[in-house]
Structure 1
Amino acid sequence: MKELNMSKLKILFLCTGNSCRSQMAEGWAHALKSDVLEPYSAGIETHGLNPNAVKVMAEAGVDISGQKSENIKDLMHIDLDVVVTVCGHAHETCPVFPADARVVHVGFDDPPKLARELAEKGASEEDQLDAYRRVRDQIKTFVEQLPENLEENAS
């Protein structure tokens, strides 16, 4: 069993607050690619788990409610292979990682920000959740193509 873990790619999904996009990516990686990936997620800061992210992932059959918002400082002991920054701020402020961790940037829209903008325009709660669903589905598509698509997104 230990040999299997050693062959898995240790991948960290990094976002600003580790509340939404990086959590979705970790959830999809566990659900779809646990045979080849050992996924983690963290933030430059910790904002807690976004309830709407939990809700839309559950709609897609993936339970991320047990995941917790982690700070990147708490994961620095893990010998990562790849760090995927999923938002611009995390990419711009990404800390230096020890060893051979490669940093890849794949930006996704910020669902809470999109939902807030929609709410200001009077959109329904369902329309706001659609912003989360759209990003959830984009992240799923990205994760489905892991680890092959890491080469084309290398920075």
Structure 2
Amino acid sequence: MLDQFQTCTPQLAETLRKAQLLPISEERKTVLGPLIQYIQEKIDQGQEINLNFICTHNSRRSQFSQVWAKTAAEFHGLAINSYSGGVEVTAFNSRALESLKRSGFRVSSKENGSNPTYFLFHSDTADPIVAFSKLFDDPANKASQFAAVMTCGHADENCPFIPGTEQRIAVRYEDPKAFDDTELESEKYDERSLQIASEMLYVFDSLKHE
């Protein structure tokens, strides 16, 4: 797999190598198990894989998850549709975006008031990952049937029904927002981003496919 990192920026390749080496506890592997099973069943049935990562504001954890899931899948040679959304529209948090830049993504943007659209590139040849804050059922999330991957407790507990969901999977992450405007801000955003990268690499590395 490491050879596949050669297509991306050196900085991102190094981040992915670090993510691969990050230990994943048995408890977290159990949490990730249903997501692995869902994707594997889609592969076995030759069906489209649609993942919609959902958090309340679609600003931090769900954005990290969308970006890293798409990146991990592509480096494993697997085509998926990776989406994200929330129950309120805010903006892709600038701290999360800066963390992804530090990881090695090249980013451009299109201004749209208080909720810009960002284009994240992991290589010069791949299409960008398009990211902005939106509701989980925004037209940009084109799939009508998907796995709703709940990345925060608030959304998981307060959204009892999400139309279009084939399977609801809780993969919760601690919110780096708790460290906003502190000396630990950058460190904690990078820590959460790297954890999500590590777990998404583990998910796609666990699959059996051609």
The alignment status of 1:48 with 2:48, answered yes or no, reads: no
Report the TM-score when normalising by structure 1.
0.76
Distance 2:142 2:70 in 1: 21
Q: Which has the higher contact order (CA 8 A, sep 6+)?
A: 2
| 1:56–1:136 Cα contact (<8 Å) kept | yes
1:71 equivalenced with 2:139 (yes/no): no
- For residues 62 and 91 of structure 1, the distance between their equivalents in structure 2, rounded to whole angstroms, comes to 29
Q: Which runs of 5+ in 1 are unaligned?
A: 1-5, 150-155
Shift of 1:31: 1.6
Seq. identity, %: 25
Indicate conservation of the 8 Å contact 2:52/2:136, yes or no: no
Q: 1:26-105 counterparts in 2 under 5 A?
A: 26-34=66-74, 35-63=78-106, 65-66=118-119, 67-75=131-139, 78-98=143-163, 101-105=166-170
**What letter matches 1:68 in structure 2?**
F
Q: Which amino acid aligns with 2:179?
A: L
Q: Which runs of 4+ in 1 moved over 4 A?
A: none
Match of 1:21 in 2: 61
In the alignment, residue 197 of structure 2 is paired with which amino acid?
K
CA 1:112–1:77: 2 relative to 1, 3 Å: same
Aligned to 2:185: 128
**Structure of higher CA gyration radius:** 2
CA contact (8 A) 1:57 1:136 kept: yes
TM-score by length of 2: 0.58
Does the CA-based 8 Å contact 1:11-1:80 persist in structure 2?
no
Aligned residues: 137
The 3 A distance-change label for structure 1 pair 62 and 30 is: farther
Q: Answer whether contact 2:99 2:190 (CA < 8 A) is retained.
A: yes
- Residues 86, 28 of structure 1: alpha-carbon distance in 2 compared, 3 angstrom cutoff: same
Identify unmatched segments of 5+ residues in structure 2. 1-45, 108-117, 120-130
Contact 1:28 1:62 in 2 (8 A): no
CA deviation string 1:112-142 (max 9, x = no partner): 12335xx2xxxx2xx2111101110111122
One-letter amino acid of the counterpart of residue 156, structure 2: H
